[in-house]
Amino acid sequence: MYLLKYILYSVLNTVTVAVASHKCSFYPRKAPSSCSSSVFRIFFGPAATPRSRACGLSEMRSLASSPTAPTPAPSGLGASSDRPRGGGADGNYISQATARPWTSCPSSSRGGPRGLHFPECRGRADLVLPTPPGPGAWLGTQPAPEAALRAGVATMGDPRGTRRILVTGGSGLVGRAIQKVVEDGARLPGEDWVFVSSKDADLTDAAQTRALFQQVQPTHVIHLAAMVGGLFRNIKYNLDFWRKNIHINDNVLHSAFEVGVRKVVSCLSTCIFPDKTTYPIDETMIHNGPPHSSNFGYSYAKRMIDVQNRAYFQQHGCTFTAVIPTNVFGPHDNFSIEDGHVLPGLIHKVHLAKSSGSALTVWGTGRPRRQFIYSLDLARLFIWALREYDEVEPIILSVGEEDEVSVQEAAEAVVEAMDFHGEVTFDTTKSDGQFKKTASNAKLRAYLPDFRFTPFKQAVKETCAWFTDNYEQARK
């Protein structure tokens, strides 16, 4: 038997074979860590952990250090009936921190990003499955239950302990909305939510970002932190938007990888889509051409999150994904007239015009069209994506195409909500920006056909009321 092992190893040691069906290469003198080949598993045991940390490794550390963690099987145990029976081909229970929490198949039977689909992975989940009665967990290389396939590596229903969810940009518009939804009853047992802002760490600094992640030790991350602004701020500071967001995103994703985060959901924007395109836009069209020139710095920086997510998946098997919301608004927005987005800027303008008895001036022609999504609706969808959405490819979170409104219609909704009766004019010397960014939410509807968005006028009314009640404290 040992002679047979030696002969097989010698043969494999001289030839590098790329096995596309297993996403695996047999490198000389080294058992591949990402190999799912049963040949390597049977003859040489489980694949070794790579030098770089694997996504989800912190989960293995907690398993190994827990009081109920299984002890390693004696080295003399073979395939006898005394051997613990796990889900892996070798039956070994995970008993030490160096165990990998998956082999090489994507965490969902839907496959991975476009171009990274592996047919042999359908109907199976190479992930750490919840254990049956009794201690221990195993490498799931056997066909997994449908529930496990839906949950994937990053399942939030995992019963093995506390899920610590770190939310970057936690004091911003979407972060505060998620916090409210969680506090209002969306928190699940075993979830520990940590909301951080720039006061806690400068995420453009790699050392500070790494220190934050090492301190919090999150299992899941919602990444919202970004340098953001409205049309005119983007036009003025394209370079700053590029550099700062590139640093933030790279630091966050790599720190998440280093501490073994199981899943990251980042926030993109529909402004990343090509300026010249067909409508409606969908998730497959992100990289089909340059974005609008008014905000190309921010747009390209956000596009790179998608590139990094795919690369972390391809090289390390990480479940890093992103959502693409349309124009978000709601309580805790930035209501700055100069630097804010169109709707909060309009709300602030109407408030001032009403207070002073002056006319309301809307910048631009009022003709550009937008799909607006209420921040509380987006918060609910973010939580769903964190728990249930297991594709690496992004997903658009938006109201339907039929709910798109013009800037003029948005201004009229604000005027109505704030009971403004003054004159309304349009300053056509100001830029309109991109005329439209109509996005399809067909993919979202395929997952959540019954999700109900807050009606636009109701959401505007609630936001206006919040701004009026919190005028002194609101960002403006």
Distance CA(77)–CA(86), nearest Å, equals 14
Q: Catalytic residue among 93, 298, 374, 389, which? A: 298
What is the edge-to-edge ordering of all strands in the sheet holding 263-267?
191-195, 163-168, 220-223, 263-267, 319-325, 395-397
Show the CA angle centred on residue 445, arms to residues 177 and 155, nearest 5°.
65
For the question of residue 279 being annotated catalytic, the response is no
CB 328 within 8 A of CB 378: yes
Biggest alpha carbon–alpha carbon distance for the chain: 93
b/e per residue 169-198 (b: at least 16 CB within 10 A): bbbbbbbbbbbbbbeeebeeeebebbbbbe
Coil, strand or helix at 334: strand
Distance CA(195)–CA(197), nearest Å, equals 7
What is the end-to-end Cα distance of the chain in Å, rounded? 75
Query: How far is residue 304 CA from its own chain's centroid?
Result: 13
Distance CA(172)–CA(43), nearest Å, equals 53
Phi, psi of 30 (to 5 degrees): -155, 120
Burial of 382 (0-12, 13-18, 19+ CB in 10 A): buried
Nearest C-alpha neighbor of 253 from the set 307, 298, 309, 313? 309
342-356 and 456-469 are packed helices; what angle lies between their axes, rounded to 10 degrees?
60
What CA–CA distances, in Å, run from 246 to 92, 195, 274, 291, 424? 41, 21, 19, 16, 40
What CA–CA distances, in Å, run from 294 to 239, 275, 404? 12, 10, 21
Distance CA(261)–CA(213), nearest Å, equals 9
Q: 319-325 and 263-267 as β-strands: parallel, antiparallel, unpaired?
A: parallel
Length of the chain (residues): 476
CB 312 within 8 A of CB 116: no
What CA–CA distances, in Å, run from 295 to 72, 87, 188, 218, 292? 55, 50, 38, 32, 6
Q: Which residues are catalytic?
A: 298
